[in-house]
Amino acid sequence: MILMKPLLTYCALPSRLHDLTDDSYQFVISQGHAPLHPFKALPQGKDFGDNGRFGRDFALKFAFRMVGICDQFYLFGMSDGTVQEAEKALELKLPINLHVERFDPDWRRYYPQLRDKYPFLEGLIRNNNLTV
């Protein structure tokens, strides 16, 4: 039996889907990989996030650093922040896997505006065989 080496996997989940943090975390584990989830490393609330004392920009800078130590990138939902994280993963030539259909029922609503702002997103959607 050949065992697959677990890959450190960045979990990109919009804050509006924060309730799915554990589900996305467990999904990565079920795939045989080790999750690095920013909501577990930098918990939303009083310290990080839009209303946290460090603020969203600070949290995003740390998120980009976390992307940089990962072997692959899982996108679980569409938001400005998760697409910025995906752009960083693309710059670093990380494999990017989209799981938006499973975790983000509203991703198609956010996609048009994000596609206009981040042109690479259209190719990412097409390469993952998603239909808009």
User: Looking at 11-15, 35-39, 95-99, 124-128, which range is the least confident one?
Assistant: 124-128
pLDDT of amino acid 26 = 97
Helix (H) or strand (E) segment spanning residue 55: helix 55-68
N- to C-terminal Cα separation, the chain? 40
Whether the full predicted model's pTM is greater than 0.75, yes or no, is yes
pLDDT tens for each residue of 50-73: 666 677 788 889 899 999 999 999
pLDDT of amino acid 1 = 45
The rounded distance, in Å, linking the Cα atoms of 122 and 118 is 8
Q: What's the whole-number mean pLDDT along residues 2-24?
A: 90
- Axis crossing angle, helix 80-91 with helix 107-117, rounded to the nearest 10: 60
Give whole-number Cα distances, 47 to 20, 39, 51, 54, 60, in Å.
20, 11, 8, 6, 13
pLDDT of amino acid 59 = 80
For the chain, percent of residues with pLDDT exceeding 70: 88
The rounded distance, in Å, linking the Cα atoms of 45 and 52 is 6
Q: With cut-offs at 50, 70 and 90, classify the pLDDT of residue 2.
A: very low
Q: What is the DSSP string of 72-126?
A: EEEE-S--HHHHHHHHHHHHTT--EEE-HHHH-TTHHHHHHHHHHH-THHHHHHH
The overall average pLDDT reported for the chain is 89
Residues 6+ apart with CB under 8 A from 102: 27, 76
Do β-strands 8-12 and 72-75 pair in parallel, antiparallel, or remain unpaired? Answer: parallel
pLDDT of amino acid 60 = 85
pLDDT of amino acid 45 = 58
Q: pLDDT at residue 86 above 50?
A: yes
